[in-house]
Structure 1
Amino acid sequence: MTGPVLAVDQGTSGTKALVICPERGVIGTGFAAVRPRHLPGGLVEADPAELCDSVVEAGARALAEADEPVVALGLANQGETVLAWDPETGRPLTDALVWQDRRAESVCAELSPHGEELRQLTGLPLDPYFAAPKMAWIRRHLTREGVVTTSDVWLVHRLTGAFVTDAATAGRTQLLDLDRAQWSERALDLYGLAGERLPEIVDNARQAGATRAFGPEIPLTGLAVDQQAALLAQRVTAPGGAKCTYGTGAFLLAHTGSAPRRGGSGLVSCVAWRLDGRTSYCLDGQVYTAASAVRWLTDLGVIGGADDLDAVGGAVPDSGGVTFVPALAGLAAPWWRGDLRGSLTGLGLDTGPGHLVRALCEGLAAQVVELAEAAARDLGTPLEVLRVDGGLTRSALLMQTQADLLQRPVEVSALPDATALGVGALARLGAEPGLGPADALPDWRPATVYEPRVSPQEAADRLGRFRSAVTALLEGTSR
């Protein structure tokens, strides 16, 4: 089966759709915005209907631009966003609790005596970032009716009527037995979710149903959580490579092969994908606020938007002694302190917008360095290069800062929309049995390579200042 595929990436702030032809590349694109609500107390919600409408709208726009029939559909999802819904009618029973939402901290606090058991079982630390705490919170505080699942299950059901999730998304719940890649009765029992109706866990590339949401019937043959789809698109398909996507947050993933790694670094161990019944694994590290931190600086009026980072930051030679820990939604890996707030120190009467921009870039880059070094410790070998994608990679200032602090080359993907391209490749694999991943993936090449321009000592000094600021945050608060 040859022909274009429709790849849809349902993200936090919008849905991107591509029509991808195996010979001609991307021949149609579409986008529809999503507007999550940020509420006091770390609450982040989205209207489920808006999520579903955005998938149909973005997909329809891409198909209209391509003006060609497609042979398959791939759908990528946010990962840890959850809601309750009626499986008979498909009607949402709650708003969607977005992955950034922190309201399930009370659930995690109650389960803290079982934190290490859950981490060994599922590969994930106890944190409201993941799906299971939010699912348990919904059951305790909002409704006992219907089913409670990650957002992909609901979207797939609305599109096809199927009740499934892919192995990689299931691995983001803290309900998956990581070694067996099956639902864990023990984890379900600990969360008070025993007896829940759970979706079937399927391979990432296989037909899960078919949809007429876009007109003619299209088989749904690719499913993935967003970051794992990007890992695939970056052709990191064996141990030794890593990628970082700079979106709403920043997410570094390193491939670990056919067995999960459970190191002591604080990174998450999870499923990369399951193809033909064979599971591949990865290490995953998160920075909760990347583009959302840039948006925060924009809302304050310091810059006009992400496109101003280079111009404003380039007006000064350095951060002027300002250190920014942009933990605006808490610190994720490797610290797992979602309760912390960010800090901005070293301010003076001479501090200007450029210093704040540079301090933000250093703070983001320093967190990614922490993730890369943690991955290297768990893998037992340093990462030789970092492949990057996402909207913020357009900032030369941020990418050069990343290379300087990492002291490794940073290869910026020439392929925008890596998540959509990755799930498009999975859709093709699911539609053409016998095709290998290398044959389905787009050619990978860097648009730009940033080499370190500062000495190892200067990089260490700058990282040291950031780490001191993080230590001050950690020591200044208690759980």
Structure 2
Amino acid sequence: MGSASEEFIGSIDQGTTSSRFLIFSSTGDVVASHQLEFRQIYPHPGWHEHDPVEIVESVQKCIDGAVASFESQGHSIKSIKGIGITNQRETTVVWDRETGQPLHNAIVWTDTRNQALVRKLKRRLGANDLQALCGLPLSTYPSVGKLLWMLENVPKVKEAYDRGVLAFGTVDTWLVYNLNGGTRTNVYVTDPTNASRTMFMNIKTLQYDEQLIEFFRLEPSKVFLPKIIHSSDPEGYGSLASTVLKGFPITGCLGDQSAALVGQKGFTPGLAKNTYGTGCFLLYNIGETPVISTHGLLTTVAFDFNGKVTYALEGSIAVGGSSVKFLVDNFGFINKSSEISALAETVEDNGGLVFVTAFSGLFAPYWMDDARGTMFGITTYTQRGHVARATLEATCFQTKAILDAMEKDSGKKLTELAVDGGMCNSELAMQTQSDIISIPVNRPAMRETTALGAAIAAGLAVGVWQGFEELKNVNTEGRTVFTPTIPKEEAAKRFSRWEKAVQMCRGWLDGN
């Protein structure tokens, strides 16, 4: 039985492949959770969509499911003080402001259909000034390209724009809008960590920027953009209009990668985390002044608590855990992703094999959208174990490339890397990571750091925690620290072979 004075926080974790609702205690333990996968829609190669209505419904079902488990343990729902949201970023939803109905499937962050459109934008006058304003370079990745593609290719979206009723939002905005009851209450907000992924927000002022909107030739009067509020806010996000938690306030919101940094308690400059999910995301806290990268990284908002904004440098790897899934689904090497380590351990090393997992180009710090997945060093000696090992190593090498760039941009040396996400369950992958970057890798026992970050944002708004100091002891037990087992020279040698492979797969798509 929970004591009457115990306080809990709910956390909506809306990811790329599933939605979840978790309930955390004030010490950061998961007390109850419920998860539902939803449909992945791939209409054409390189296209990736979600049904926006299904996303909302899955979240509502997860809330009810987790609360049922919470109550069955003897806890009272009255002890849940607030709800945080964390979400897949860049994924773009458009809807009609009058009806509240979506006008198209959500276009997912991984989607590359706007490639030709982005190339055209790169040639437009002023393209080189964008990153200094919003922290992001032009790529297929930010939300703006997805919106522009829909305006050009989906008549319903163009028509709503012309009528001045087009609402645009990332998943957080769509969720908050619907969880509050849609058109009934019209709660239409976002937070800076999500807004900083659209290319509409000025990274310094945290407001929408006229120059950016003008560059994309959008008329502000025809497209509604959500109001940007603090990541932790007792009132701005409204409250749930349905589910068993009807009337409970939503008090925090963070894009998933920022949430993971918060969940890893990366509150001070120089701390970094890598989340090994479908893709991989490395965030490095750079403090209260944004640094615009000159080494192929993005500048993003880490969090905005109490009006104090903290920034991060971010490097993203397009293919992380999905490369392991590829070995399962396409090659049938293993039956499930968790078996990758065992297969990789059937061999002593990679046998000279390097696998550049550029299935949809390479993200940071290379930004090569014309590269494709390539294996080098295949001989008659190559076995499945070598391929498995090279697959894990690909993610570790890309992480090293990003960390090197972060050091150059920030002028600070990283002393330790905090890790979370599915792939960090592999002891071999994390040991390999530490070997390649030559610094310790710190893995928490409770890996739900993304959901925990959203819970922290929500909890700070309602006084479950007073400040960062109080969070020191949250999720500290049972950590594993991996330390390098090979000399730095050996690590450098392996990395230079990887870099050579990357250069060799550049331009694969040219001229066809």
Asked if Structure 1 and Structure 2 have the same fold, meaning a TM-score greater than 0.5 normalized by the shorter chain, the answer is yes
- TM-score for both structures, normalised by structure 2: 0.90
Determine which of 404, 418, 424 is the counterpart of 1:393.
424
Q: CA deviation at 1:434?
A: 8.3
Q: Which runs of structure 2 are paired with 1:392-411 in the superposition (5 Å)?
A: 392-411=423-442
CA contact (8 A) 2:465 2:471 kept: no
One-letter amino acid of the structure 1 residue matched with residue 170 of structure 2: T
Which of 460, 469, 478 is the equivalent residue of 1:429?
Answer: 460
Does residue 120 of structure 2 align to residue 116 of structure 1?
Answer: no
2:60 equivalent in structure 1: 56
Q: How many residues align?
A: 479
- Deviation digits for residues 118-158 of structure 1 (CA, Å, limit 9, x no counterpart): 11111101001111111111112111212122122111100
The one of 360, 363, 368 aligned to 1:332: 363
1:204 aligns with 2:231: yes
1:24 positional shift: 7.5
Question: Are the counterparts in 1 of residues 446 and 475 from structure 2 also a CA contact under 8 Å?
Answer: no
Name the SS for the 1:458 alignment partner: helix
Q: Deviations over 1:152-198 (max 9, x none)?
A: 21111000141000111000111111111110111111112232211
Amino acid at match of 2:400: V
Partner in structure 2 of residue 170 of structure 1: 195
Amino acid at match of 1:422: G
SS in structure 2 opposite 1:237? coil
Find 1:343's aligned residue among 362, 366, 374.
374
Cα deviation, residue 378, structure 1: 0.8
1:66 aligns with 2:70: yes
Question: Percent of aligned pairs with the same residue?
Answer: 33
The equivalent position to 2:169 in structure 1, one of 138, 149, 154, is: 149
| Cα deviations by residue, 1:423-461 (Å, 9 ceiling, x for unpaired) | 001111122298213325724356211111111122111
- The answer to whether the aligner puts 1:9 opposite 2:13 as a matched pair is yes
Structure 1 residue 388 displacement after superposition: 0.2
C-alpha distance in structure 1 between counterparts of 2:332 and 2:107, whole Å: 29
Q: Is 1:85 aligned to residue 112 of structure 2?
A: no
**In terms of mean alpha carbon deviation, does 28-37 or 421-430 score higher?**
28-37
Which moves more between the two structures, 84-93 or 407-416? 84-93
Tell whether 2:336 aligns with 1:305: yes
Tell me the alpha carbon deviations over residues 204-243 of structure 1, each in whole angstroms, 9 at most, x when there is no partner: 0002101132223110101110000010111111111100
RMSD over aligned CA atoms reads 1.7
Deviation by residue 1:33-76 (Cα, 9 ceiling, x = unmatched):
12322343311111112211221122222111111312211111
On the 8 A contact 1:269/1:284 being kept in 2, the answer is: yes
The answer as to whether partners of 2:251 and 2:457 remain within 8 angstroms in 1 is yes
Which AA in structure 1 matches 2:175?
L
SS of 2:375 mapped into structure 1: strand
2:479 is paired with a residue whose SS is: strand
- State the secondary structure of the residue aligned to 1:415: coil
Residue 190 (str. 1) matches residue 190 (str. 2) = no
Q: Distance in 1 between matches of 2:372 and 2:17?
A: 22
Residue ranges of structure 1 left out of the alignment (5+ in a row) = none
Counterparts in 2 of 1:377 and 1:445: CA distance versus 1, 3 Å: farther
Partner of 2:446: 415
CA contact (8 A) 1:83 1:151 kept: yes
- Structure 1 position 257, deviation (Å): 0.5
Give the Cα separation in 1 of the matches to 2:175 and 2:338.
33
**Structure 1 residues 446 and 461: alpha-carbon distance in aligned structure 2, compared to 1, 3 A threshold:** farther
Which structure's residues are more often strand, by fraction? 1
Deviates more, 1:162-171 or 1:78-87: 78-87
Q: Tell me, what secondary structure is at the counterpart of 1:474?
A: coil
Runs of 4+ in 1 over 6 A off after TM superposition: none
Change in 2 beyond 3 A, CA 1:234/1:405:
same
Q: CA offset at residue 346 of structure 1? A: 1.5
SS at match of 1:282: strand
Contact 1:5–1:71 under 8 Å retained in 2: yes
SS in structure 2 at match of 1:265: coil
TM-score, scaled to structure 1? 0.96
CA distance in 2, matches of 1:417, 1:40: 33
Q: 1:224 aligns with which of 254, 270, 284?
A: 254
SS of 2:97's equivalent?
Answer: coil
Counterpart among 378, 384, 396 of residue 409 in structure 2: 378
Runs of 5+ unmatched residues, structure 2: 161-165, 181-185
Q: CA deviation at 1:90?
A: 2.2
The farther-off stretch of 346-355 and 389-398 is 346-355
TM-aligned CA deviation for residue 23 of structure 1: 4.9
